[in-house]
Amino acid sequence: MPRPIQAHINSSAIRHNYLVAKRFAASGANGAKAWAVVKANAYGHGLFRIANALRDVADGFALLEIEAAIALREAGFQHPILLMEGFFDAEDLAACIAYGFTACVHQMYQLQMIRKAQPAVPMPIYLKLNTGMNRLGFVPEQIPALRSELAQNPAIGSVTLMMHFAEADGERGIDWQVKEFAQMCTGLDHPVSMANSAAIINFPQTAHDWVRPGIMLYGSSPFADVSAKQLELTPVMTLTSRILAVQKIQPGERVGYGGTFVATRPTRVGIVACGYADGYPRHASTGTPILVNGVRTQTLGRVSMDMLACDLTDLPEADIGAPVVLWGEGLSADEVAAAAGTISYELFCALAPRVPVVEI
């Protein structure tokens, strides 16, 4: 019999969340299109699982890995596909041209590579402008040379101007980057893509032509102080397991490696078939929320490779075989992640291959 841990992926939820993102975007720019961001194996949810769920509603798919983009195209997806880090060498560029991908271009050498490749059909690109994130993109001093290259490069097709917000979910906000972007775009009259999940929700005026919803597609909030439920987002992944053993300990007894939890009262300890080898965060300490029989309780002690402990003292009906929700339906992944000192992105992406996935 297999271990009872499973990840349940709700395909109707991903469609719902995509349409929520479109609705937020429409409040700022009616008709704005949305890239469904499916990088990192669709944030750990399964690329084809998510792409198939969105096949009839997505305007396009955005990701990083060219192999994944090729796989989508060869599986029959004719949607626009955006490579968010662009191409890295001539072989990647050839694939972009052959499969009709749109590539993010953030270095001058990439434009020169496109010119040298002489594609039969001019290649669509996203020009990444660095407005303060300081990861990828052209800086203001490069804009004159960029304008010149675009004007003289017949291999370049449609151009979209792109930037990425660094603090759309924080106190500093977006105005400083919007101002920089506007200055850099002077003389460049092209469609625009600015908004990530946080900006789509908080600053829909930045929606413009294309938005890029990521974490919100998977039912998590991009904000620490606003829940996914408040944003009408539905969890897509629910990680479940069961109680496989129950221990009864007395005050002063300890639980788990290092004995980091010390009982202060007679305590019923439930042992759950889930550990860090399944993708549960090892650094989740005592007090991380968990649902047993649909009732909220907490973890106890350190997470082991294959098991974790939880408090059943106030759940007398919970015994061996009781169902457990680690995160998802009924227990936000955002809350679990915050208690573990991380973010829901990491929880989703860390789901281990050994965990069976069930589509619902």
Residue pointed to by tokens 């002690």:
301
What is the amino acid identity at position 216? M
Q: How far apart are CA 257 and CA 264, in angstroms?
A: 18
User: Which residues contact residue 283 at a Cβ distance below 8 angstroms, ignoring those fewer than 6 apart?
Assistant: 303, 340, 341, 342
Q: How far apart are CA 32 and CA 349, in angstroms?
A: 28
Contact 95, 116 (CB under 8 A): no
List phi, psi (to 5°) of 43: 55, 40
> Closest Cα partner for 310 from 332, 284, 333, 330?
284
Q: At what angle do helices 108-117 and 143-152 cross, to 10 degrees?
A: 10
Positions marked catalytic: 39, 257
List phi, psi (to 5°) of 284: -70, 120
What is the amino acid identity at position 229? K
Q: Cα Rg for the chain, rounded, in angstroms?
A: 23
The DSSP secondary-structure symbol of 122 reads P
